[in-house]
Structure 1
Amino acid sequence: MAPFRIPMFTLIVSRLRRLPSPLALLGATIAALVLLAHWSAPAAPSEQPQPQRNLLTVAIAPLHQEHWPDTLTASGAVAPWQEISVVAEVDGLRVAEILADVGDHVKAGQLLARLSDTGVRADLEQARATLDEARAQSADAAQTLARVAGMSERGALSDQQIAQYRLASSVAAAREAAARAVLKQQQRRLAATRVVAPDSGIVSARGAVLGAAGATGSELFRLIRQGRLEWQAEIAQEELPRVASGMAAQIELSTRQPQAQWQAQSLEGRVRTVGVMLDKASRNALAYVELPSSSALRAGMYVRGAISTGASRAAVLPQQAVVMRDGLPAVFSVTAGGRAVLHKVKLGRRQGELVEIVAGLPPNAEEARFVTLGAGLVGDGDQVRVAAPRRVSLQEEGTR
């Protein structure tokens, strides 16, 4: 309330007392109403300076052009390079002993199982006796033929008789050859009772059962030849021209050590060959990638990886510069006046803390400045304050 208002009211009342009573009462009422309206009127707003709005301080980084390797991402199964099927070569022999099991590393010629050879050894002895008999008969027939050959010159025997002796000698020699062949066959049967590995490798399957008698050709063991595995990467038909033999490749494995967290492991390989046939259902072809030996690798795994197909230029920004807006990746550029402008972009390759921007950048992208630190708090059209620049590398900018 202003300090002059009370004295003014007193002055008016003192002057009204000099008037006649009815007029004085009326004047006092009017004066009271005027002063009451004056007191109840709102005071004029004071001119106070409005506080300036605080601006968000952001860090910026320019767009960089770098040479990055081109990679083709694919997925596929891990499979043996080659498999060896070890089968029974003798019919009807039971398995007498098993000396290898699944997971064993075996060498070429190593004994895997032994079949019962009792009957085979008996057959072998009989074949030897038959050969000895045939050899004796052949020798006797040859001696007889030699004796009668001289008698035919003196005319003691007819030509027909001489021909019969020659025929008997030939038949005896043939019987000896047949007996020798039977002996070799029995020797091979005896050797086949020892089931050995044709090449070094890892036992991936065992069909041999102790005491069981299998037929000829039944599989006893299956080996991963030389323990070599390969990645059969599935390549879409439109990407096939980019893949060729000899290209480097890398697969990613997730393994969990005992009492430890999941760990990522990378394995380097090389494309051995590219398949010429496409799958009828998926229209994908297979690229066969040779892989190094690893205890974490198992046949049958389904893994993801990438094949290096060359190198090309890439427009990259730190990962911090990329934010999500309406479910899409976006970046903010800063104008000369400090206004943030939203650009929805398409991302490409990643390398460390850097990401490639494939599309969506403004026309003057190489001259523009992009928000890195603080990009998640910026809105389209916001005024921002750019932090003082500091000499840092692009990698440092991406990891801050």
Structure 2
Amino acid sequence: MRSKPRNSRVSPSFAAVRTGLLALSLAVLAACGGGGKGKDETTAQASVPVEVATASHQSITANYSGTATLEAVGDAQVVSKTSGIVLQLLVEEGMHVQKGQLLARLDDDTARNKLAQASATLKKAQASYDKADKGFALKITPKADYDSTKYDLEAQRAIVEGAQLDLSYTRIVAPIAGVIAKRSIKLGNLVQVNQSLFQIVDLDPLQAVLNVPERDLDTLKAGQPVRMNVDALSGKAFDGSIARIAPVVDAASGTFRVTCEFRDSTQTLKPGMFGRIEVAYDQRHDALVVPRNAIVEEDGENSVYVIEPAPAKPAKDDKDKADDKNKGKKGEAIAAETAKPALPGFVAKRRVVKTGYAEGDRIEIRDGLADGERVITIGRNAVREGTEVQVLESATKSPDAMAAVGATEKHA
């Protein structure tokens, strides 16, 4: 007896694979001419879409860029020179104070008592000296006794001055003008000698120190203007100048210190802020400039890709024209599409260039490029010598074209 055939049901995964292969085959057939597309249209689709910029003469400034943290020129820690209870606080954090202004007052009873005792002893020493001085003048007081009373008087005067100084230490005053950045004591606290009480910072001017490579030692000079952009203030710019330059180079790092100074009357800048500093040290008013993203660095050379008109293509022969006419409606559609005005064809040509100053997104070309030549800025990584390109005009470029540029650069 003939055996019963097994169920020949195809699995879903196999069906999906077969469907995919069929679709791929149809696509290959269409690409090979099944759809009736001409050779010229296929070539146009192969062109790489790019954006270009024109090299032109402009003014450009040479800058040195670096980063630094702002520091206060005046930064004083106010410490106690005597011990005592805090009886009065006259300032708070954020308040502006002047040099010598009273900040706090300590208990001064002990200091006043010592001064009173020292003053009384001074009066006694003064009386003894006056008596000895008269006796010495009358030659009835020995010189040794006269000298002894004189030295006792001088010593007691020093003790009184010391007691007065101790009494003055109970008044805490500002050593510099500035802003109270920190208060470390509270009312009623017992403070000891050398205990920190306040921190005062002078916000005008502020300084930032750049560690500059030694190759720029002759480039930067004291007095040159600088500009700083502060990230914490949304990139706001502040103008300053180079205050001084260190006369020595650090052998370990190969850098030298450049101190920049900034004066901000609004006191928007604060110590500790991080800034990006640019020092403009030279300017050229007639430099050939292109966008910085046009530069390609390869094998230690800088180059750009210049676009030039593509060579003329041979016209269709009579046989091809006859074939197009015999294709019916599909041929008519292709002919209508061909009749549309085509974008001019260009090819990319690599050009080795010598660069100069760079400022922002612009860079100077010293050699290898002429005024008016157009260089590729977007899409340059997707082209090589002789690659056909399609120039996208910035005013008419579509999102689809920009997406094509991004995809091309991603896979390059």
Please confirm whether the aligned pair reaches a TM-score higher than 0.5, indicating the same fold. yes
Q: In 1, Cα distance between the equivalents of 2:392 and 2:141?
A: 119
CA distance in 2, matches of 1:280, 1:77: 23
RMSD: 3.9
Amino acid at match of 1:316: V
Please tell me whether the aligned partners of residues 357 and 363 of structure 2 are also in contact (alpha carbons under 8 angstroms).
yes
Q: What is aligned with 1:138?
A: 129
Aligned match of 2:16: none
1:264 counterpart residue number: 235
* Larger-Rg structure: 1
Q: 1:374 to 1:235 in 2, by over 3 A?
A: closer
Higher alpha-carbon deviation: 134-143 or 181-190: 134-143
Residue of 190, 195, 211 corresponding to 1:212: 190
Amino acid across the alignment from 1:265: K
Percentage of pairs with the same residue: 22
Match of 2:363 in 1: 356
Give how far 1:267 is off: 1.0
Match of 1:183 among 134, 156, 160: 160
Per the TM alignment, residue 178 of structure 1 is displaced from its structure 2 partner at its CA by: 2.5
Residue 228 in structure 1 maps to residue 200 in structure 2: no
Rate the CA distance shift 1:176–1:49 in 2: closer, same or farther, 3 A: closer
Q: Deviations over 1:186-224 (max 9, x none)?
A: 112211211111221123344446523322x44433322
Counterpart CA distance in 1 for 2:86 and 2:281 is 52
2:260 and 2:306 map into 1 onto residues whose CA distance is 43
Structure 1 residue 332: deviation in Å? 3.2
Q: State the shift of 1:281 in Å.
A: 4.8
Cα distance between partner residues in 2 of 1:58 and 1:111 = 70
* 3-state DSSP of counterpart to 1:136: helix
Q: How far apart, CA to CA, are the structure 2 residues paired with 1:70 and 1:230? A: 23
Aligned residue in 1 for 2:260: 289
The alpha-carbon deviation at position 82 of structure 1 amounts to 3.2
Shift of the 137–110 alpha-carbon distance from structure 1 to 2, 3 Å rule, reads same
Shift of 1:377: 11
Shift of 1:241: 2.3
Q: Does 1:66 align with 2:58?
A: yes
Contact in 2 for aligned 1:333/1:368 (Cα 8 Å): no
The answer to whether the aligner puts 1:300 opposite 2:272 as a matched pair is yes
CA distance in 2, matches of 1:305, 1:94: 47
Question: Which residue in the other structure is 1:114 paired with?
Answer: 105
Tell me the residue number matched to 1:37: none
Distance (whole Å) between structure 1 residues aligned to residue 293 and residue 128 of structure 2: 98
In the alignment, structure 1 segments of 5+ residues that lack a partner are 1-47, 150-161, 257-262, 389-400
Contact residue 320 and residue 375 of structure 1 kept, 8 A: no
Which residue number corresponds to residue 16 of structure 1? none
Give 2:289's aligned residue. 316
Aligned partner of 2:321 in structure 1 is none
Matches within 5 A, 1:362-381: 363=368, 365-366=369-370, 369-371=373-375, 379-380=383-384, 381=386
Shift of 1:171: 2.9
Letter in 2 for 1:110: Q
**How many equivalent residue pairs?**
315
Question: What code does the residue aligned with 1:356 have?
Answer: I
Q: Does residue 77 in structure 1 map to residue 50 in structure 2?
A: no
- Note closer, same or farther for the CA distance 1:289–1:127 as it changes in structure 2 (3 Å cut): same
Q: What are the superposed Cα offsets for residues 103-148 of structure 1, whole Å, 9 maximum, x if unpaired?
A: 33211111122222110000111111111222222233334445x5
Superposition deviation, residue 60 in structure 1: 6.0
Give the 3 Å change call, closer, same or farther, for CA 349–123 of structure 1 in structure 2: same
Residue equivalent to 1:199: 176
Contact 2:288 2:365 in 1 (8 A): yes
Aligned match for 1:245, one of 222, 244, 247:
222
Name the counterpart of 1:332.
Answer: 305
